[in-house]
Structure 1
Amino acid sequence: MATFQPQHGVHCETTTLRNMLHQAGAAMSEAMLFGLGQGIDFQYWDAPDPGRATPMLTGRIEPAQLSRNACSALGVELRALQAPDAETASTTASELLESGHVVGVSVDIFYLDYFTSRSHFAAHYLALYGLDDTHAHVVDTEQQGGAQTLPAASLRRARASDEGFMPSPHLYLYVEQVPERLATDPDAVLREQIWNAVRLTAERMTADRGPRYGLPALRRAASEVEGWHETLSSPEETVPGVGRFWRFAGTGGANFRKLYREFLQEAGQRCDDNELKAFAEEFGDVERQWDQAIEMLTAYPGTDGRRQLAAVAARLEAIADAEQALFEGLLVPAAKRAGDPA
Structure 2
Amino acid sequence: MATVIEMDPRGTQHCETTALGVLLRHQGLDLSEPMLFGLGSGLSFIYWESKNMGFPFLGGRVKPFDLTRNLATGLGLELLVQETASPRRAWENVVVPLDAGHPVGLQLDSYYLDYFGSKVHFGGHVVAMYGYDDHDAYLVDTEQQGGAVCTSLTSLAQARAARGPMTAKHRSFTLTAPRNLHSPRDQIIPAITACADAFLNPPIANLGYRGIEKAGKLVRTWLQRTDNPQRDLPQAALLMEKAGTGGALFRNLYRDFLGECAQLLDSSHLRTGHGLYTEAATLWTEVAALITKAGESGEVQCLVQAGTVLFDLSRMEREAMQALSCLGREAPNAIQP
TM-score (norm 2): 0.92
Match of 1:77 in 2: 78
Verify the 8 A CA contact 1:109 1:117 in the aligned structure 2: no
Q: Which stretch has the larger CA shift, 207-216 or 11-20? A: 207-216
Give the whole-Å Cα distance in 1 for the aligned partners of 2:67 and 2:255.
Answer: 17
- Give the AA of the match of 1:117: S
Tell me which residue corresponds to 1:230: 224
Q: Aligned pair 1:306/2:300, yes or no? A: yes
Q: CA deviation at 1:304?
A: 5.0
8 Å contact kept, 1:245–1:252: no
Aligned counterparts, 1:235-254, within 5 A: 235-250=229-244, 254=248
**Cα distance in 2 for residues equivalent to 1:26 and 1:7:** 14
SS at match of 2:149: strand
Task: Please give the alpha-carbon distance, in whole angstroms, between the structure 1 residues aligned to 2:281 and 2:268.
Answer: 20
SS at match of 1:299: helix
Task: Please give the residue correspondences for 1:111-130 in structure 2 after superposition, counting only pairs within 5 Å.
Answer: 111-130=112-131
1:281 aligns with 2:275: yes
Q: Does 1:15 align with 2:18?
A: yes
Matched, 1:166 2:166: yes
CA positional deviation for 1:283: 1.2
**Structure 2 residue corresponding to 1:203, chosen from 197, 216, 222:** 197
Displacement of 1:63? 0.8
How many angstroms apart in 2 are the aligned matches of 1:17 and 1:118? 24
Q: Structure 1 residues 303, 9: closer, same or farther in 2, change over 3 A?
A: closer
2:257 is matched with: 263
CA distance in 2, matches of 1:272, 1:49: 48
Give deviations 1:129-174, integer Å, cap 9, x for gaps.
11233110001011111110111111111111113x3111301111
Contact 2:205 2:214 in 1 (8 A): yes
Q: Residues 159 and 169 of structure 1 are in contact (CA less than 8 Å); yes or no, is this contact kept in structure 2?
A: yes
Report if aligned partners of 1:108, 1:122 keep a CA contact under 8 Å in 2: yes
Where does structure 1 lack aligned partners over 5 or more consecutive residues? Answer: 183-187
2:7 is the alignment partner of 1:4: yes
* 3-state DSSP of counterpart to 1:226: helix
Question: What whole-Å deviation, never above 9, does each CA across 1:265-321 have from its counterpart, x for those lacking one?
Answer: 111213355653453232111000000001112223354521111111111111111
AA of the residue aligned to 2:326: V
Distance (Å, rounded) in 2 between the aligned partners of 1:341 and 1:23: 30
| SS of the residue 1:44 aligns to | strand
The change in CA–CA distance for 1:212 and 1:278 in structure 2 (over 3 A counts) is: closer
Specify the SS of the correspondent of 1:180: coil
Matched-pair contact (CA < 8 Å) for 2:269–2:326: no
328-337 or 94-103, which deviates more: 328-337
1:227, distance to aligned residue in structure 2 (A): 0.8
The answer to whether the 8 A contact 1:110-1:119 is kept is yes
Q: Would you say the 8 A contact 1:225–1:309 is kept in 2?
A: yes
Alpha-carbon distance in structure 1 between the residues aligned to 2:218 and 2:292? 17
Tell me if the contact between 1:301 and 1:308 (Cα under 8 Å) persists in the aligned partners. no
After alignment, is 134-143 or 297-306 more displaced? 297-306
SS of 2:172 mapped into structure 1: strand
Calculate the TM-score normalised by the size of structure 1: 0.91
Note closer, same or farther for the CA distance 1:208–1:110 as it changes in structure 2 (3 Å cut).
Answer: closer
| Equivalence map 1:48-59=2 (5 Å) | 48-50=51-53, 53-59=54-60
Q: 1:131 to 1:210 in 2, by over 3 A?
A: same
Partner of 1:191: 185
Query: How many angstroms does 1:83 deviate by?
Result: 2.2
Work out whether residues 219 and 307 of structure 2, in 8 Å CA contact, stay in contact via their aligned partners in 1: yes
Give the structure 2 partner of residue 185 of structure 1.
Answer: none
Query: How many percent identity over aligned positions?
Result: 32
Q: Which amino acid aligns with 1:159?
A: R
Q: How far apart are the structure 1 equivalents of 2:102 and 2:331?
A: 35
Number of aligned positions between the proteins: 333
RMSD between superposed Cα atoms in Å: 2.2
Q: Is the 8 A contact 2:246 2:253 kept in 1?
A: no
SS of aligned partner of 2:59: strand
For structure 2, the 5+ residue unaligned runs are none
